[in-house]
Structures are given as C-alpha cells and as structure tokens.
Amino acid sequence: MTRFRSVVVTAAAVALCGAATVRAQDEGVKMVEQLVKKARSTVEAIANTKAQLGKTMEVYNTLMADTSTDRKGLYKKLQSEMNSTEERRAQIKVRADETNVEAANVFKSWADSASAISDPALRKRSEDRITTTKASLAQVQAAGQKAGELYAPVMKTLQDQVTYLGHDLNASAVASLKPDAAKLNGRVEELNKQLDDTISSANTAISSISPK
C-alpha cells in the first residue's frame, strides 16, 4: 500500500511539473504577442505622425498660396496643426520606450527558458534564436529613434518660418518666403520617402518575430 501511494505521489508530481512547463510555454507565447503589439504601436505612431505632418503642410501651403484670402485664420490653424504634429511625434518615443520595456521582459524570460533545456545543442539553437530575434527587434527600435530624428529639422524649419511671419503676416512677407517654402516642401517629400522605408523595414522585422 505504501509503495502504491509512493507511485501515485510521484506520478502526481510529474503531472504537476508537466502542467507548469506547459503554462510557462503558453505564457512565453503571450509575452511575445504582447511585444509584437507594442512594436506595432511604435510603427503606428510613426505613420500617424507622418499623416499629421501632411495635414500641417496642407495648411502651410494654403497659407503660402498667392490666392490665400484668410492668412490670419490659416496662421492660427497652422500653429494648431504644428502642435498636433509635435504631440504625435512625442508619442513615437513613448511607444518605443514601452516596446523596449516589453522586450527586456521577453528576452529575460526566454533566456531563462532556454537555460532549462537539457540538450546542449538544442539549448544553443534557442540561444541563437534569441540573438536573431533581438537583432530583428533592434530594427523596430532603430525605426522609432530614426523617425524622431528625421522629423526634428523639418519641424524646426517650419517653426522658424512661422516665427518669421508672426509680426509680418502680409502678402509681401509671404512672397519673400517662397524660395524657403519650395525647399521645405522638398525636404518633407524626402522625409516621407525615408519614413516609408523606415515603416516598411520595421513591419518586416515585426513579421519575422510574430507567432504564427
């Protein structure tokens, strides 16, 4: 009878251990899914800022047009759109920081899990996969940083022109900015191309780490 109880206890312990392992594995998948969600939110923040900058430039170009009839109203609207753009740009860093925190949790958990693999060769392969995934995620993290840096000089130039017009909002002052306006539009066009490339690279990286 004692031997039977011992067998039952041992079987129960094995079953509990197996259940705990399954739960840990399920938790790992959920953690990676959450990381992917955070990474996608970073890319979404970049895209949202790009769209908002487009609205800002639309108001700017209307203000700069020879046919503009309400420059005072457009000037105020431009300032409002610029503020919205800056708010969206700030969100890129917020989302990127959240992704970094989530990534640290995932990779620590993954490393702990890999260390529990008894087969040395399989453990090494898991560790290599961690390194590969870190490299993929680094592309998303770099995308967030790069996007913030790309916006900065464009927004500074736009702010300088708004300041220039602050005490001189008339047709002749606007006309004097025409060459500057052309350069700014060219820079925004180039910025949009760079952002599209950045977003594309980040989405490819995210796809490579997403649970299928």
Sketch the domain layout of the chain as residue ranges: 28-209
Residue 135 has pLDDT above 80, yes or no: yes
- Identify the DSSP state of 170: S
The position carrying tokens 């992917």 is: 36
Cut 0.85: pTM above it: no
What is the Cα 175 distance to its own chain's centre? 38
Look up the CATH number of domain 28-209.
Answer: 1.20.120
Q: Are 144 and 42 in contact (CB under 8 A)?
A: yes
**Closest listed residue to residue 92, CA positions, set 140, 141, 42:** 42
Q: Are 165 and 142 in contact (CB under 8 A)?
A: no
What is the tens place of the pLDDT at every residue in 26-84?
Answer: 688 899 899 899 999 999 999 999 999 999 999 999 999 999 989 999 999 999 999 99
Evaluated on CA atoms 25, 102, 199, 40, the torsion sign reads: positive
